[in-house]
């Protein structure tokens, strides 16, 4: 085994050479999950609050607090929109979850989403220069049943303090009701990242995958596996971007979506699914193998694998097949197995495999762009603009079947995305602060640079301590022992 390093740059090579491809794929998952637990214990979580203003002597306390701050209070009483200039509201996001659908782990109780929500806040700051607060809430009754109206009321009550809200890990159908009502009623953007964010980045990856496969979005046959918040929104965004609904077949746990699924028509909370039933699968194909025969694209956001998608299904697909298997934490089929079955391009939601189609590429830039022009909404057009921004950025620096989309370490992609999204907000009439593309780019670039330099300074000064190498080595040893 190669000696492990703190930067984890050689993660795929740290396991014994005698490990098979399947064992290495499983080992990576076990290693990252165990290391995540140990690293979170070491740091006690991953976010803290740090002031952005200085203290230059005792009386500065009286400037930042009473009596001086009374001036700010009375200005905000008379001119509420001055909150964008006199507070951090304009660069602050609430990451709200009831933890009822955390990654691929399902309902994790009222505390279960904290790790993910802090992770969103971490990525927003480092990648987008955006401050964020993780807010996991208890909206359950005495029987443990979540109440979507409590989430709606909670978000409406916190609106004065935040410039945007990122909804996360909320189960369906509650997530649809919550998003639709809040988008309609709030004067700040309310964004459901599991749905809209995943859809935006999936479209970005698909745009470039289709270019490499020399296929057109208007012509390809597409199978979507899973009909949760992510894939139902992906289907909607793909149709808005030019993919005909009649070329799509969507499967959930009970079969395919079509007009035969009349239970959706009778359910007032299933209006999105019934709409998809009416727009897709006109031939009412209800067999996955029949659907996969001759398909050009598979987009799976369903049950974590690695055996959810069968290699024999991929063998039925058209030449130069595009396979996105994006369940977390384990894709529906590992990339090596999909490639062996004949896939031309394979993407997953994970950064330790090629082609990470993950909403982490979207939400930092999208929210930064929306915040910078003080948008009141994030429209579908803004999500599509973000997709083309990501795709164009990757194409300009070069794409290939194992590199169809930018990665999180390409810092310049996020200010570019922010600026493109902001310009679409202006075009859609939801921006209340009109700036140029260059102005938004410069603001975002400056804030992102400052966020990264601040973290680096804290690391250099050992105010953020490096985890001990022994922690990583112990986790590696533990992982390898799981295969003995």
Catalytic residues, by residue number, are 65, 120
* Rounded distance between C-alpha atoms, residue 353 and residue 357, angstroms: 10
End-to-end CA distance of the chain: 15
Closest CA to 299 of 351, 364, 357, 352: 357
* Rounded distance between C-alpha atoms, residue 408 and residue 425, angstroms: 24
* Rounded distance between C-alpha atoms, residue 317 and residue 295, angstroms: 5
* Rounded distance between C-alpha atoms, residue 35 and residue 301, angstroms: 25
* Rounded distance between C-alpha atoms, residue 350 and residue 373, angstroms: 31
Query: Could you tell me the maximum CA-CA distance found in the chain, to the nearest angstrom?
Result: 75
264-to-226, 251, 396 alpha-carbon distances in Å: 15, 14, 43
Alpha helices for 107-261 (secondary structure H):
114-128, 148-158, 174-185, 198-213, 229-240
Q: Work out the angle at residue 386's Cα, subtended by the Cα atoms of residues 382 and 389, and round it to the nearest 5 degrees.
A: 135
Burial class (CB in 10 A: 0-12, 13-18, 19+), 180: middle
Residue environment code for 300-334, b if the CB has 16+ CB neighbours within 10 A, otherwise e: bbbebbbebbbeebbebbbebbbbbbbbbebbbbb
Burial class (CB in 10 A: 0-12, 13-18, 19+), 157: exposed
* Rounded distance between C-alpha atoms, residue 78 and residue 397, angstroms: 49
Q: Which residues, other chains included, contact 484 with Cβ-Cβ below 8 Å and sequence gap of 6+?
A: none
Closest CA to 163 of 94, 72, 79, 76: 94
- Residue 248's H or E segment, with its range, is strand 248-252
| 362, HSE (Cβ side, Cα atoms, 13 Å) | 30
Alpha helices for 429-468 (secondary structure H):
437-460
Q: Look-up: residue for tokens 């006690």?
A: 44
The token pair at 140 is 């359950």
* Rounded distance between C-alpha atoms, residue 27 and residue 21, angstroms: 10
């Amino acid at each position: 085994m190669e000696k492990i390093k703190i930067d984890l740059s050689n993660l795929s090579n740290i396991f014994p050479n005698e490990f098979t491809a399947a064992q290495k794929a499983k080992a990576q998952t076990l290693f990252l999950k165990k290391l995540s637990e140990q690293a979170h214990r070491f740091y006690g979580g991953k976010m803290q609050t740090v002031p952005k203003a200085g203290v230059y002597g005792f009386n500065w306390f009286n400037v930042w607090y009473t009596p001086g701050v009374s001036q700010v209070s009375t200005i905000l009483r008379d001119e509420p929109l001055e909150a964008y200039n006199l507070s951090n509201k304009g660069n602050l996001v609430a990451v709200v979850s009831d933890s009822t659908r955390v990654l691929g782990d399902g309902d994790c109780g009222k505390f279960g989403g904290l790790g993910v929500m802090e992770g969103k806040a971490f990525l927003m700051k480092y990648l987008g220069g955006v401050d964020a607060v993780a807010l996991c809430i208890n909206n359950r009754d005495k029987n443990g049943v979540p109440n979507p109206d409590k989430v709606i009321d909670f978000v409406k009550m916190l609106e004065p303090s935040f410039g945007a809200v990122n909804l996360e890990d909320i189960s369906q159908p509650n997530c649809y009701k919550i998003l639709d009502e809040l988008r309609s009623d709030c004067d700040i953007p309310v964004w459901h990242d599991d749905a809209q964010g995943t859809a935006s980045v999936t479209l970005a990856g698909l745009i470039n995958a289709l270019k490499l496969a020399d296929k057109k979005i208007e012509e390809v046959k597409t199978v979507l596996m899973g009909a949760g918040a992510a894939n139902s929104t992906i289907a909607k965004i793909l149709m808005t971007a030019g993919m005909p609904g009649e070329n799509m077949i969507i499967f959930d746990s009970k079969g395919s979506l079509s007009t035969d699924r009349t239970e959706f028509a009778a359910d007032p909370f299933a209006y999105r699914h019934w709409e998809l039933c009416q727009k897709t699968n006109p031939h009412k194909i209800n067999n996955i193998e029949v659907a996969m025969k001759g398909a050009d694209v598979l987009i799976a956001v369903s049950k974590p694998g690695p055996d959810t998608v069968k290699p024999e299904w991929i063998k039925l697909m058209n030449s130069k097949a595009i396979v996105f298997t994006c369940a977390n934490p384990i894709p529906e089929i590992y990339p090596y197995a999909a490639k062996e079955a004949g896939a031309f391009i394979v993407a997953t939601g994970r950064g330790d495999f090629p082609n990470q189609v993950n909403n982490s590429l979207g939400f930092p830039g999208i929210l930064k762009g929306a915040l910078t022009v003080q948008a009141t909404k994030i429209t579908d057009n803004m999500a599509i603009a973000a997709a083309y921004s990501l795709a164009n950025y990757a194409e300009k620096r070069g794409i290939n079947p194992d590199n169809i989309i930018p990665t999180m370490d390409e810092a310049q992609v996020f200010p570019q995305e922010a600026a493109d999204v902001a310009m679409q907000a202006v075009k859609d009439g939801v921006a209340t602060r009109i700036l140029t593309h260059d102005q938004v780019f410069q603001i975002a670039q400056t804030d992102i640079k400052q966020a990264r330099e601040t973290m680096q300074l804290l690391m250099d000064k050992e105010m953020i301590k490096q985890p001990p190498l022994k922690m990583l080595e112990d986790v590696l040893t533990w992982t390898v022992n799981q295969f003995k």
